[in-house]
Amino acid sequence: MENNMAKILVIEDEKELNKVLQAYLERSGFQAVGAYNGDEGVLLWEREKPDLVLLDLNLPGMDGLDVARHIRKLKDTPIIMVTARVDEVDRLIGLELGADDYITKPFSPREVVARVKAVLRRAGKQTGDGQQILCGDLTINLDGHQVFQKDEPIPLTPTEFALLVALAEQPGRVLSRLQLLESSQGTAYEGYERSIDAHIKNLRNKLGEDPKNAKYIETVFGIGYRFIKCEGQRAD
């Protein structure tokens, strides 16, 4: 799903900015709803069931990180973090919670709309009828945007899924953090390479993988990561 009347929840305490973002999103073909604090944002998320959340970190009451934690406990709704706090710790904390992108203020509303479209494309990525990658007990369904391990579904965020596909489609090949950033985000934002480490950590946790005894994703120190070749691995 990209435009096609996807619903975007904007959680931003600056009222004028919130209204501007909603207006730009609506002009771009989206439905938009707004909340001005974290508690209201959680209530709207539960009621409206949006396709994506634009989430400011610095909110009154329940802050953005707490809102993201609440959402991630229940669902893998794509999240784009929005903040004026640019230090690396905040960025990585946000990404470790499963945020799919990160925008720092000041920004143009057009940039936000472009990022929203990119994340929604990844969330609804179509790659062909019934295509899948099989590796041992792991099945990656490219068409359905689903991952199964021993026939049990593994819920991944759009970014985690894009990273897994990028690696699994080229088993044995080392991909740098910049290459993985471009594969998962659609472009490589300078200074964001280390955010890949947070996403890989989350992905490994969901796959039940020990990095010291990797079954799927191997760290290549100083370079990046590679997907370990499985005996009989194939793409259907």
Query: Domain containing 190 — which CATH number?
Result: 1.10.10.10
Q: Are residues 115 and 146 in the same domain?
A: no
CA 79 distance to own-chain centroid: 7
Q: Over the stretch 137-171, which tens digit does the pLDDT of each residue have?
A: 898 888 778 899 888 899 998 889 999 999 988 88
Q: What is the CATH number of the domain that holds 82?
A: 3.40.50.2300
pLDDT for the residue 129: 39
The closest of 231, 224, 230 to 200, measured between CA atoms, is 224
Residue 67 lies in a domain: yes
User: 150 and 104 in one domain?
Assistant: no
Model confidence pLDDT, tens digit, residues 31-51 = 999 999 999 999 999 999 999
Q: Select from 91, 106, 123 the last residue of a domain.
A: 123
80 shares its domain with 157: no
- Cβ-count burial of 41 within 10 angstroms (0-12 exposed, 13-18 middle, 19+ buried)? buried
Q: Computed from CA positions of residues 50, 51, 57, 63, in that sequence, does the dihedral angle turn out positive or negative?
A: positive
Say if residue 89 is in the same domain as residue 144. no
Question: Which ranges of the chain would DSSP assign to H, the alpha helix?
Answer: 15-27, 38-48, 64-74, 88-96, 109-123, 158-168, 177-185, 195-207
For residues 89 and 38, state if they share a domain.
Answer: yes
Domain count of the fold of the chain: 2
Report the length, in residues, of the chain. Answer: 236
- Does 2 fall in a domain? no
Based on the domain organization, do 180 and 215 belong to the same domain?
yes
Per-residue model confidence as pLDDT tens for the chain (236 residues): 444 578 999 999 999 999 999 998 988 889 999 999 999 999 999 999 999 999 998 899 899 989 999 998 899 899 999 888 766 556 666 677 778 888 888 888 888 988 898 888 877 643 333 577 888 889 888 877 889 988 889 999 888 999 999 998 888 899 998 888 887 776 555 556 678 898 999 999 999 998 888 889 999 998 999 999 876 555 55
Q: Do residue 163 and residue 115 come from a single domain?
A: no
Q: Are residues 32 and 117 in the same domain?
A: yes
Return the pLDDT at 86: 64
Contact 170, 179 (CB under 8 A): no
Domain that holds residue 49: 7-123
Looking at the structure, do residues 64 and 107 belong to the same domain, yes or no? yes
Q: Are residues 49 and 114 in the same domain?
A: yes
For residue 128, the model assigns a pLDDT of 37
